[in-house]
């Protein structure tokens, strides 16, 4: 990370919600540990959301992290709320517990906040290029997901007067003061969208930066479905007019 760190920012809290991620959680945490953060203290908070596999046991055996546990599965949003409440850093970063997103993007995600050019950074999978679905070695198997994302992005831009390319990328970074100022009702996958919609209504500064993305299959543990998409669309409309 080039350039001086904002003197008022000393710690980054990385919040990792996890549910049945025994295959990837150890490697994700190791990658997070190894990612350079010059000038910033690193706080890794992992929230096990009632996993029924070995995720919780793995976390209990890992040093150097703050591991928190839900007794039952309450949803990604509930896990993020628990993690944010426990965070002590001036900046909060959401890190998924799978291997779809690379911590090598941290420098690009953090720079605009450290330079005080924005209050929120969204990682966009589509800012630099669009996925292909019908040819090429890197074609995506999730055409329906992409169409759903276009609907979510288009509706949000229309209702909130914004021009983002991707509201549902896994990487989002916030000044802690932003999170502390907003109450989010959702506990599921639509937590992200309700939070962002309320941020847009309050006119906090938001920027996008391109991020890398390697989608995993449902066989590999992907969890979001079309039913979550319906809930997200409703959340966008409700947050605009409530």
Q: What is the CATH number of the domain that holds 173?
A: 3.90.550.10
pLDDT in the model for residue 142:
53
* Structural domain span for residue 105: 11-241
**In-domain check, residue 6:** no
| 2-16, 17-31, 136-150, 176-190: the lowest-pLDDT one | 136-150
The residue-averaged pLDDT of 155-173 equals 89
**In-domain check, residue 4:** no
Give Cα 164 distance to the centre of its chain. 16
Indicate the pLDDT class of residue 154, thresholds 50, 70 and 90.
confident
Number of domains in the chain: 1
The answer to whether 32 and 14 have CB atoms below 8 angstroms apart is yes
Highest mean pLDDT among 7-21, 85-99, 137-151, 218-232: 85-99
Mean pLDDT of the chain: 87
**In-domain check, residue 76:** yes
Over 60: is that where the pLDDT of 133 sits? no
Measured over the CA atoms of residue 122, residue 191, residue 99 and residue 145, the dihedral's sign is: negative
Rounded to whole angstroms, the Cα distance separating 137 from 153 reads 27
Rounded to whole angstroms, the Cα distance separating 114 from 91 reads 9
**In-domain check, residue 3:** no
**In-domain check, residue 5:** no
- For the chain, percent of residues with pLDDT exceeding 90: 62
**In-domain check, residue 2:** no
pLDDT in the model for residue 2:
52
**In-domain check, residue 231:** yes
The residue-averaged pLDDT of 201-220 equals 80
Nearest to 67 by CA among 86, 91, 90, 92: 86
Q: Degrees (nearest 5) of the Cα angle 156, 233, 194?
A: 70
Rounded to whole angstroms, the Cα distance separating 74 from 89 reads 24
Rounded to whole angstroms, the Cα distance separating 115 from 8 reads 11
Highest mean pLDDT among 3-12, 95-104, 130-139: 95-104
Over 70: is that where the pLDDT of 134 sits? no
pLDDT in the model for residue 141:
46
| 20-29, 93-102, 115-124, 130-139: the lowest-pLDDT one | 130-139
**In-domain check, residue 1:** no
| 25-29, 68-72, 189-193: the lowest-pLDDT one | 189-193
Rounded to whole angstroms, the Cα distance separating 30 from 139 reads 28
Phi, psi angle pair for 173, to nearest 5°: -130, 140
Indicate the pLDDT class of residue 230, thresholds 50, 70 and 90.
confident
């Amino acid at each position: 990370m080039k350039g001086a760190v904002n003197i008022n920012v000393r710690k980054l809290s990385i919040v990792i919600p996890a549910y049945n991620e025994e295959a990837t959680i150890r490697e994700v945490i190791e990658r997070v540990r190894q990612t350079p953060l010059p000038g910033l203290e690193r706080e890794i908070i992992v929230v096990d959301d009632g996993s029924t596999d070995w995720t919780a046991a793995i976390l209990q055996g890992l040093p150097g992290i703050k591991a928190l546990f839900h007794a039952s599965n309450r949803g990604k949003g509930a896990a993020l709320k628990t993690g944010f409440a426990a965070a002590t850093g001036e900046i909060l970063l959401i890190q998924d517990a799978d291997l779809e997103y690379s911590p090598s993007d941290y420098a690009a995600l953090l720079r605009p906040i450290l330079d005080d050019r924005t209050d929120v950074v969204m990682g966009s999978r589509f800012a630099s290029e669009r996925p292909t679905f019908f040819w090429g070695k890197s074609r995506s198997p999730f055409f329906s997901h992409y169409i759903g994302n276009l609907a979510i992005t288009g509706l949000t831009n229309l209702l909130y007067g914004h021009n983002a390319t991707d509201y549902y990328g896994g990487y989002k970074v916030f000044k802690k003061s932003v999170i502390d100022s907003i109450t989010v009702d959702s506990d599921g996958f639509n937590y992200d969208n309700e939070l962002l919609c309320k941020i847009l209504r309050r006119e906090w500064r938001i920027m996008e930066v391109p991020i890398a993305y390697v989608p995993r299959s449902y066989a590999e543990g992907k969890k979001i479905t079309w039913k979550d998409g319906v809930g997200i669309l409703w959340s966008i409309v409700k947050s605009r007019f409530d």
